Structure 1
Amino acid sequence: MSVIQSVTETLSLFLPLLLTSVVVAALLWLAHLLLIKRHKTEGNEKLFPKQLTMLILTVVGIIAIALSLPVSDSTRNQVIGLIGLVISGVFAFSSSTIFSNIMAGTMLRVTMPFRTGDFIQVSDFFGRVVERGLLDTEIQTENRELVSLPNTFLVNHPICVTRSSGCIVSTTLSLGYDVHNADVETLLLQAATNSELSDPFVQILELGNYAITYKVSGMLTDVKSLLTARSSLRRQVVDALHDAGVEIMSPSFMNQRKIADDGKVVPAQRATRGSTPETVAEDVVFDKAEEAAQREDSKDQLLVKIAACEETLKTVDNEHKGQIQNQLKMLQDQLKVVDQTISE
């Protein structure tokens, strides 16, 4: 009888711990299933809040198990203090990597210096944002490479973001003093206009010993075509100057060929490019970033429409309520499809 009583007392002591452990394990498993496993095909952009939630739930679960230990209050407080010390030690030792990246990622979410699809320049890295994750941010570069930048790197370096409302596209070149700057300015302004840039302007950057350095710039409203616009501006500058007979060459250029003193090295006139459609650089280079940006825009538009429908339901009469509810359900289904889109 004493043995059974002893076993019963032991079970009664450890029963709260067992029940708490089972409940915590079940809740964490269920949370992982609902938040992570069912959405594992989603990119880091959408998994960020779910991963952060799982981290918080895990810490809360560990504390709950510690509180259910069959020990005295003083010992329980020591155990909780030990857990806090271990967590603090983990954060301290990993502060330069994991924890600091998590905190930096959270700060970037709060400050929102950029969003998915934006062009950013960080140090020597330039590209479009594909995903913003818990630990890093992925961009697609001009070479179509996917580069993961740690969030701490983004926080510790200035971020240049190309504004969606438009950006300045420019190029520079040097011309000799034998060409009047007024003529050069006219030609460069015409080149910028031909490349479909608005509000073009020309600056003189440097008066060198042998040449003048010019810079022509213009406003590009469709920032998605940034690479094409830069190439188009340079092409139009070359065409405009060559068509006007202006030699684009260093005054100190030496060539072994015998040419007349007044001869100019200008390509011969050629026919306009054929009607064969050209490949747009951005369609090839930033394909994944463009898909991510389109998904983000689609989701934002659906959320606005859903909010409008919900507001309409509050004031609409019963006769039209069914129609609004059907429209709301259709929008919610479309939102689910967008959320479940697999990031390639």
Structure 2
Amino acid sequence: MRQSLSELFERLSHIGIWALGLLLAAMVVFPGLTPAKALGGLGLASIAIGFAFKEIFENFFAGVLLLWKYPFEKGDFIECQSILGKVENISVRMTTIRKTNGELVVVPNSFLFKNAVNVLTDQDKRRITIMTGVAYSEDADHAVSLLQQALSQCETVDQQHPIQIFLNGFGDSSIDIEVTWWTGPTPLDHRRSRSEVVSTVKRTLDEAGIEIPFPYRTMTFKEPLEINQKPFKSD
């Protein structure tokens, strides 16, 4: 059984045992009390309690659904709105997330249930895409071939998935090249692999003498510019 599902059954069992224990205790203290009367009174009281503790019950049922449908587990890296981190604990009311900078965030379950959650570690690998470019005077097809060979030697690039390098379009100063590969799923894997690939792309193109251009600007004027030269005076 999945860990989250096991914990859900355990917590619901605790709640059920406590409720049954309180009911039996009440029947002992009040001999005229029957289960039917107790449940009827509980039904009326639950309406008032529900309005008073609406947010608590909302988070509780959201937590039950999160644990039941297991969109993520403990140890998964998730991203929701501006929160990115590792799930440390999922309770029936809240979820604790350790952000990548070390901060601990306590998130109500209703927040995770109502908003889109990206589960970064749902699969063993994640795909990354970066853009680079070569000057218009360079052989773009040759650059693509060189990058394909170079990335096949990178340690952080998963060789079980295809490395995809395509000419993407005509940029302002370069022929744009799209570089896509697969690596580990965690944020650290992502950053480490991106750093290695960017370094490899730069080094490969530099060694081949292929220019990675910066933005060029060509300025034209309606009228010719006059150039005035002042004589140089030496001391």
Instruction: Work out whether the TM-score is over 0.5.
Output: yes
Match of 1:121 among 71, 75, 79: 79
Q: Is the contact between residue 170 and residue 233 of structure 1 (CA under 8 Å) also seen in structure 2?
A: no
Structure 2 CA distance for aligned equivalents of residues 189 and 178 of structure 1: 20
Q: What letter corresponds to residue 125 of structure 2 in structure 1?
A: G
1:217 corresponds to which residue?
180
Check if 1:227 corresponds to 2:188. Answer: no
Q: Name the structure 2 match of 1:153.
A: 111
- Aligned partner of 1:59 among 13, 19, 26: 19
Please state whether the residue corresponding to 2:192 is helix, strand or coil.
Answer: helix
The within-5 A match list for 1:319-338 is none
Higher fraction of helix: 1
The CA RMSD measured in Å over matched residues stands at 3.3
> In the alignment, which of 59, 65, 71 is matched to residue 101 of structure 1?
59
What amino acid is the match of 1:216? V
Q: Please give the alpha-carbon distance, in whole angstroms, between the structure 2 residues aligned to 1:84 and 1:206.
A: 66
Secondary structure of 2:78 counterpart: strand
Q: What letter corresponds to residue 196 of structure 2 in structure 1?
A: S
Q: Paired residue for 2:202?
A: 238
- Give aligned pairs, total: 206
Quick one: distance in 2 between partners of 1:90 and 1:207? 64
Query: Taking structure 1 as reference, are residues 202 and 67 closer, same or farther at Cα in structure 2, changes over 3 Å only?
Result: same
Q: 1:159 to 1:65 in 2, by over 3 A?
A: same
Question: Displacement of 1:110 after TM fit?
Answer: 1.7
The answer for the alignment partner of 1:112 in structure 2 is 70
Q: Residue 133 in 1 paired to residue 96 in 2?
A: no
Preserved CA contact (<8 Å) 2:167 2:177: yes
Instruction: Compare the two structures and name the one with the higher strand fraction.
Output: 2
Relative distance call for 1:48 and 1:234 in structure 2 (3 A) is farther
8 Å contact kept, 2:86–2:99: yes
Give the 3-state SS of the residue equivalent to 1:89 in structure 2. helix
Q: Is the 8 A contact 1:135 1:151 kept in 2?
A: yes
How far does residue 200 in structure 1 lie from its aligned partner after superposition? 0.7
From 44, 49, 66, give the equivalent of 1:90: 49
Aligned-residue offset at 1:46: 8.8
Q: CA deviation at 1:152?
A: 1.9
What is the one-letter code of the residue matched to 2:195?
S
* Deviation of 1:105 (Å): 1.7
Structure 1 CA distance, aligned partners of 2:6 and 2:39? 33
- Residues 173 and 101 of structure 1: CA distance in aligned 2, closer, same or farther (over 3 Å): farther
Q: Which residue does the alignment assign to 1:179? A: 138
**For the structure 1 residues 219 and 150, does the alpha-carbon distance in structure 2 shift closer, same or farther, using more than 3 Å as the test?**
same
Shift of 1:71: 4.4
Q: Does 1:167 align with 2:126?
A: yes
The residue identity in structure 2 corresponding to 1:165 is D
Task: State the 1:137 CA deviation.
Answer: 2.4
CA contact (8 A) 1:171 1:233 kept: no
Alignment CA distance shift 1:163-1:192 (3 Å): farther
Could you tell which deviates more after superposition, 232-241 or 56-65? 56-65
Which secondary structure state, in structure 2, belongs to the residue aligned with residue 194 of structure 1? coil
SS in 2 for 1:169: strand
Return the letter of the residue paired with 1:248.
I
Contact 2:93 2:108 in 1 (8 A): yes
Q: Deviations over 1:139-181 (max 9, x none)?
A: 3333233333322222222232234432223322344433333
* Structure 2 stretches lacking a partner, 5+ long: 219-235
In structure 1, give the amino acid aligned to 2:118.
C
Question: Could you tell me how far apart the structure 2 residues matched to 1:85 and 1:176 are?
Answer: 76
- Could you tell me the TM-score, scaled by structure 2's length? 0.69
Shift of 1:201: 0.7
Render the CA deviation track for 1:33-83: whole Å, top value 9, x for unaligned. Answer: xxxxxxxxxxx999765544333333333433444424477xx83x64333
| CA–CA separation in structure 2 for the residues paired with 1:125 and 1:192 | 32
Alignment match, 1:203: 166
* 2:97–2:106 contact (8 Å) kept in structure 1: yes
